[in-house]
Amino acid sequence: MRQSNGIRMTLDELLRRLWRRRGGILLSCTLLYALAATLVWNWPRSFVATAIVAPSETTGIATSSLLTPSPFLQPSLLDQRPGGNFAVYLAALRAPEAAAALARETSLLAQIEERRAAWPFGPARRLLGLRMKADVDDALTFLERSFASTPSLTSVTWTLELVHRDRASALDLLQRLHGLAEARVRETLAELAGRRILALEARLRVEPDIFLRNSMFELLAQQQRAALVVAADEAAAARLVSLPTVEIRPSVPNRPLLLLLLALVIPGAVILAVTCRILLRGTQEWPPSGPGWTPSPTLARRKRAEPVLTRTPAGGDGAC
């Protein structure tokens, strides 16, 4: 390792300096770990509400296929993105309409305001003049941060998870989100089938061609079946494989995992900082001195004085 004045510090010298500072390094690691562990242990924990759903197109009467008699090109095997009514269902879970419904029907905004006013950030927000009142945008931000939908790698099911500090609120919000998204898909399908039925009936009243009328009657019967399925089926987009449940004990954040990561990261960061400090201090303590210090072989070879060869005049000592 080369320092600023061109002198190289060997690895054993660097390790020797680190060893001489082992007490300070150990004390710094202990204090930093105690501080970080205190913050992690006192951080508010949250409950996780979970539900498992599956697309209704693959687990029941295919409502979308009733509305589309001839299927379109199927997606590639490598394309695992959801499609059909289930894709609309997943999008509706995080839609602004869902956030507005939660803000209107639940106490989510009041809970956000209470969290903002709590110590220690509440007085700081008031001092800085930051906004304390929650609105629909805050509810949408809450959904983006606290709600997740994860596909299964072994089946067609999806796992819905919602994180909240209050156990009852976590379960209630997840149930309402599922109901709102399912109602949104059901309403869209019912409106689509209703508009098609009205259009076909209006055309049948004025169509004189018997062959076209027969085709229109078939389309009308298909749309009427679709409207009946949408109204009668339990699930129009997502079928509940597992009902929404919430854990008994809070699990977010994962304290054991965070404490383990801190135990690995803090010592490495402290040693790196001490190493950088030693290398940046230059040669103030180089070479080290002391009664118990023994120079390394590399340093001894570097400091050894090389013999100076001089030319002796001819005849001075009898040499040729």
Same domain, 105 and 241: yes
pLDDT, the chain, mean = 81
pLDDT given for residue 292 in this prediction:
52
Same domain, 289 and 244: no
Give the least confident one: 27-41, 111-125, 142-156, 267-281: 111-125
- First-residue to last-residue Cα distance in the chain: 47
Task: Report whether pLDDT(36) > 60.
Answer: yes
Q: Does residue 153 sit within a domain? A: yes
Same domain, 95 and 168: yes
- Domain total in the chain: 2
Helix (H, G, I), strand (E, B) or coil at 244: strand
Q: Does residue 98 sit within a domain? A: yes
Q: How confident is the model at residue 309 (pLDDT cuts 50, 70, 90)?
A: low
Task: Report whether pLDDT(257) > 90.
Answer: yes
Measured N-to-C along each axis, helices 167-206 and 96-105 cross at an angle, to the nearest 10 degrees, of 120
Structural domain for 275, as ranges: 11-41+257-295
Q: Does residue 314 sit within a domain? A: no
Helix (H, G, I), strand (E, B) or coil at 147: strand
Q: Does residue 206 sit within a domain? A: no
Task: Report whether pLDDT(255) > 50.
Answer: yes
174: Cβ–Cβ under 8 A, 6 or more apart, which residues? 49, 50, 51, 160, 162, 244, 246
Torsion of CA 78, 80, 81, 84, to 10 degrees: 110
Same domain, 274 and 154: no
Same domain, 53 and 154: yes
Q: What is the DSSP letter of 245?
A: E
For residues 209-230, average pLDDT: 88
Same domain, 262 and 124: no
Task: Report whether pLDDT(17) > 50.
Answer: yes
Task: Report whether pLDDT(301) > 80.
Answer: no
pLDDT given for residue 42 in this prediction:
87
For residues 100-109, average pLDDT: 93
Q: Does residue 245 sit within a domain? A: yes
pTM: 0.73
Q: Does residue 164 sit within a domain? A: yes
pLDDT given for residue 26 in this prediction:
94
Write the pLDDT tens digit of every residue in 42-84: 888 999 999 999 988 765 544 444 444 434 444 544 556 777 8
CB 161 within 8 A of CB 236: no
Same domain, 269 and 122: no
Q: How confident is the model at residue 284 (pLDDT cuts 50, 70, 90)?
A: low
pLDDT given for residue 62 in this prediction:
46
Q: The domain spanning residue 54 has which CATH number?
A: 3.30.1890
Give the least confident one: 102-116, 237-251, 298-312: 298-312
Q: Does residue 188 sit within a domain? A: no
For residues 303-311, average pLDDT: 55
Amino acid at 160: L
- Tokens matching residue 186: 């059901």
For residues 6-16, average pLDDT: 76
Q: Does residue 73 sit within a domain? A: no
Task: Report whether pLDDT(18) > 70.
Answer: yes
Same domain, 21 and 90: no
Same domain, 240 and 154: yes
Same domain, 240 and 286: no
Most confident of 49-63, 66-80, 92-106, 112-126: 92-106
- Tokens matching residue 241: 């494989």
Write the pLDDT tens digit of every residue in 143-200: 999 999 999 888 888 999 999 999 999 999 999 999 999 999 988 888 988 999 999 9
pLDDT given for residue 152 in this prediction:
87
pLDDT given for residue 112 in this prediction:
92
CB 21 within 8 A of CB 34: no
Same domain, 35 and 116: no
Same domain, 149 and 30: no
